Amino acid sequence: MGERVLVTGGAGFIGRAVSKELLRRGNEVRVLDSLIEQVHGDRGRPEDLPDEVELIVGDVRNKDVVARALKDVDSVIHLAAEVGVGQSMYAVERYTSVNETGSAVLFEALIDHPVRRVVTASSMSIYGEGLYEDADGNLVEDAVRKPRTSDTQSWDPLDEQGRPLRPIATPESKQPSLASIYALGKYVQERQTLIMTEAYGMEGTCLRLFNVYGPGQALSNPYTGVLAIFSSRLQNGQRPLIFEDGEQRRDFVYVGDVARAFADGLVHPKAVGEVFNIGSGNDRSVKQVAQSIARALHRNDIEPEVVGKARIGDIRHCFCDGSKAAETLGFRAEQDFDEGLAELAEWVAAQTADDRVDEARAELEAKGLVA
């Protein structure tokens, strides 16, 4: 028999996929979402949010709305958050309020409306730089990039002898290195989840998501995932903007796989009190990804623009060691990247996207956050 699950932020890109997966597994789903304009435009209830999903439109910071959303709920998947590393570095109060205070309001409400389990979305951004090896094979957990002062200087972190460090897959055991307000907020959400669920007799689990992509992304939000931003630019005949030299490496995981991970995390007995990486286990350069989505959209004629500048708060390399999720939960990402891109491209072709990337870049530059 399924449960009644509250999904905060459940009308968003990941939330809609999670809601569908929960329904597929026989659960009832209630969504709490503020439907903010930056993500949803002014369209109201998303067309692809299933009719069976009960939608409460409200702010996770409103304790009365949260209490109403929790009524007769068995478990919670907590996705509600402002998303965007770059924007978090100047919209500091907004990101802190929604991500940290919003979660605090939720967990305070859970004292009076306890549930069996809370699964919270965290982020690979909490790692800062990923894990590296030096030239002698020693692990380096605290790699730091020095600001570039010349065009000949390496984009990559270096060891004390000036030798490039080699990026390797990042496991959950790596210490956090919080390089942005967004990363700080996601780490606070993690700790709130694990502290409060244990203190009040509930179960808590956190999933550190890597770069999630797929149909349904917010194409008009210039602070969303890089694949959505690239897609929006290409659809509008504009060159994708790539910061640095485009060789920074990331792990892209399909939204359907992420939805499975949340549904698994909600029920697996070994998930309690744990934090798991959720990624594909494959790393790609940002430049490769830009070229791949251009091919999928049949826009090979549009070459990406490599900016040669870095955004403050960005990291060089971080990709997923997913062995803990595989061994503990039996979870492995299954979607082939190129097939997932083809699905994304087919969906994008039917959308109208407002390209706000130049506007967002100008905002970052005006605040001194691009160097």
Taking domain 4-366, whether its CATH number is 3.40.50.720 is answered by yes
Residue of higher predicted confidence among 371 and 292: 292
Segment 102-120 shows an average pLDDT of: 98
Confidence of residue 41 (pLDDT cuts 50, 70, 90): low
Segment 208-228 shows an average pLDDT of: 79
Residue of higher predicted confidence among 234 and 29: 29
Q: What is the pLDDT of residues 312-334, one digit of tens each?
A: 767 899 999 999 999 999 999 99
Is 95 one of the annotated active-site residues of the chain? Answer: no
Q: What is the pLDDT of residues 190-210, one digit of tens each?
A: 999 999 999 999 999 999 999
Residue 335 Cα distances to 50, 69, 132, angstroms: 23, 33, 27
For residue 311, the model assigns a pLDDT of 76
Beta-sheet strand order (sheet of 75-78): 54-57, 28-33, 4-8, 75-78, 117-123, 203-209, 274-278
Confidence of residue 357 (pLDDT cuts 50, 70, 90): low
For residue 197, the model assigns a pLDDT of 98
Mind giving me the DSSP string for 283-310? EEEHHHHHHHHHHHTT-TTS--EE----
Residues 6+ apart with CB under 8 A from 262: 18, 21, 77, 119, 121, 207
Confidence of residue 367 (pLDDT cuts 50, 70, 90): low
For residue 11, the model assigns a pLDDT of 95
For residue 352, the model assigns a pLDDT of 66
What count of Cα atoms within 13 Å lies in the side-chain half-sphere of residue 57? Answer: 8
For residue 324, the model assigns a pLDDT of 98
Segment 294-311 shows an average pLDDT of: 88
Residue of higher predicted confidence among 5 and 215: 5
For residue 227, the model assigns a pLDDT of 80
For residue 359, the model assigns a pLDDT of 58
Which of 75-79, 110-114, 155-159 is predicted with the least confidence, judged by mean pLDDT? 155-159
For residue 62, the model assigns a pLDDT of 97
In which residue are the tokens 């594909």 written? 280
- What is the model's pTM? 0.92
In this structure, the strands spanning 131-133 and 139-140 are antiparallel
Residue of higher predicted confidence among 215 and 357: 215
**Residue 307 pLDDT exceeds 90:** no
Q: What is the pLDDT of residues 277-301, one digit of tens each?
A: 999 999 999 999 999 999 988 998 8
SS3 at position 150: coil
Segment 154-177 shows an average pLDDT of: 94
For residue 363, the model assigns a pLDDT of 58
For residue 226, the model assigns a pLDDT of 80
Please provide the average confidence, as pLDDT, over all residues in the chain.
90
DSSP E strands, the chain: 4-8, 28-33, 54-57, 75-78, 117-123, 131-133, 139-140, 166-168, 203-209, 211-213, 241-242, 249-254, 274-278, 283-285, 305-306
Confidence of residue 36 (pLDDT cuts 50, 70, 90): confident
Residue tagged active-site, from 95, 132, 182, 213: 182
101 CB burial (10 A radius; 0-12, 13-18, 19+): middle
Residue 197 Cα distances to 19, 116, 194, 280, angstroms: 22, 9, 6, 28
